Structure 1
């Protein structure tokens, strides 16, 4: 699935060139059409608007997301997947949790969802994808059969309406760094620090308040050293698509994150049709015990995945 066409809207290097104008420079009559389209469409790939409120209020169990994050982080590092794969997996997880009535008392279910989200993200982004069974690293409490994980993948695909090419901060960061730094292509260390900081923002829930483009703009300002008020105004001058107030609020959170955690932007980070095919009973194995749970979903035609396992 990770073919060249699938990255036409996601890969920053395909969106920017020396002749492309930008959203950070003073040109009130022009907005980069590619970035404009991406920012317009990114809202289609966000969790439900009340998701953050429910996590903060306890209406949704925040430990469910935390446990899934920890496992995805471990498996991501084990296979040395890229940053976009990690961001996509967490995007799928948050969107799924925001709309699906998660069964209570099913401690195994969140691990199954996490495995399926990472598997789908790897199929979208990575060239080499391990089998779904092999993805289960780190001595997991439950070990699922491949067919069980595939059924969960189908459920997630249906719940997310097959919208899997989500925009993440990684989709915008290269472009924003270039425009903040006077159209100079960002250096490798600058991009590395930005990606590390983006990944650091995913663990907590506070950054769920912001869109990927807003996070990317704030990260670009932070790592570029544009922290003085006058420099921030310059960096954001002429911007028409990302709200300055929201970027500033996100920037404050990033500064708090790097201060409170004792880390910096250079810190190490652990390395469609609607509906879905009917899912009847999902089974998993824990030691020698097999447990089954029925997950209901609508019936539809499944499209073929290029990296089908």
Structure 2
């Protein structure tokens, strides 16, 4: 792990690798707003694609040591929570899809697992969040506003476009340019299809799964699990909730072909707690529909210090 942004070992794809957090640039405010919308559709995966994703998912995962650092206080959980709230706020503002927000947080966690932000500079986390969201939007969205314009909502600091670009280079380099990350979204449709006997799952199951996947990033508990494990647990949970007569034993036997039994059971229990907690907010109760119903939309798919000049703090009366 790099010891900090001033480390001589840090290599960026630009000549100003150590100037990202110095005192030579001045962020400015953003006054323009854009409203974009990108419908989110889950692609169905093939057996070969699934096997490849299971093999490579650890390359896109932060690892269990990252969770241990958060729990031990080595990393500031509060700053991470603020960054995630801001990402979700901006996602809603621009109408980005749920995968875009999830990718942003995936980049942020993987970066923090591999690189140490300077201590005592809370604005660095905000800059990281802006860069990660900008990169995720470029990967997942078709209509992407300039990175400068992403700085809306309740962000405490704003940054110049060139500063965001430098941070993007740092994130890209640290993540070894692996930006097409494997996430629970990559697996959920396949697992739902498998436990439904090869038939396309209900649209309601897909939508509930998407809601729950986005809810798993609110805290840190689900950082323990790989994307495939979260997806398998979600598939088992939503199928059982939607059709109470589902053969849980058969479902379980199907899923443990892909994930470890004990970890699947533990993750399912956590999903149950999460769904109960969120039921009054975002997870709506679904009617009981037959698990072997046709998914109308998808059935045709194939396969610094706070006064640092490095970051300008918004004034109380400033608006985005």
Q: Provide TM-score, normalisation by structure 1.
A: 0.75
Question: Contact conserved, 1:145 with 1:285, CA < 8 A, in 2?
Answer: no
Residue 232 (structure 1) aligned with residue 232 (structure 2): no
Q: State the match for 1:251 in structure 2.
A: 268
Structure 1: stretches of 5+ with no match in the other structure: 1-10, 17-31, 269-281, 289-309
Structure 2: stretches of 5+ with no match in the other structure: 1-40, 286-308, 316-320
Question: Contact conserved, 1:176 with 1:220, CA < 8 A, in 2?
Answer: yes
Q: State the match for 1:218 in structure 2.
A: 233
Question: Contact conserved, 2:53 with 2:182, CA < 8 A, in 1?
Answer: yes
Question: Contact conserved, 2:240 with 2:246, CA < 8 A, in 1?
Answer: no
Q: What displacement does 1:117 show? A: 0.4
Q: How many Å separate the matches in 1 of 2:202 and 2:42?
A: 15
Q: 2:258 aligns with which of 234, 241, 246?
A: 241
Q: What displacement does 1:48 show? A: 3.6
Which piece of structure 1 moves more, 195-204 or 56-65?
A: 56-65
Q: How many Å separate the matches in 2 of 1:125 and 1:115?
A: 15
Q: How many Å separate the matches in 2 of 1:42 and 1:70?
A: 25
Q: What displacement does 1:231 show? A: 2.8
Q: What displacement does 1:228 show? A: 7.8
Q: How many Å separate the matches in 1 of 2:87 and 2:264?
A: 28
Q: Secondary structure at the match of 2:54?
A: helix
In the TM superposition, 1:171-210 aligns within 5 A as: 171-210=186-225
**1:206-232 superposed Cα distances (whole Å, 9 cap, x missing partner):** 100101011011111111116989933
Q: What displacement does 1:98 show? A: 1.1
Q: Secondary structure at the match of 2:209?
A: helix
Question: Contact conserved, 1:69 with 1:203, CA < 8 A, in 2?
Answer: yes
- RMSD value, Cα: 2.4
How many residues are treated as equivalent by the alignment? Answer: 250
Q: Provide TM-score, normalisation by structure 2.
A: 0.73
Q: 2:86 aligns with which of 52, 71, 74?
A: 71
**1:54-102 superposed Cα distances (whole Å, 9 cap, x missing partner):** 1111111111211111110100111111111111111000011112111
Q: How many Å separate the matches in 2 of 1:193 and 1:46?
A: 23
Task: Give the 3 Å change call, closer, same or farther, for CA 75–100 of structure 1 in structure 2.
Answer: same
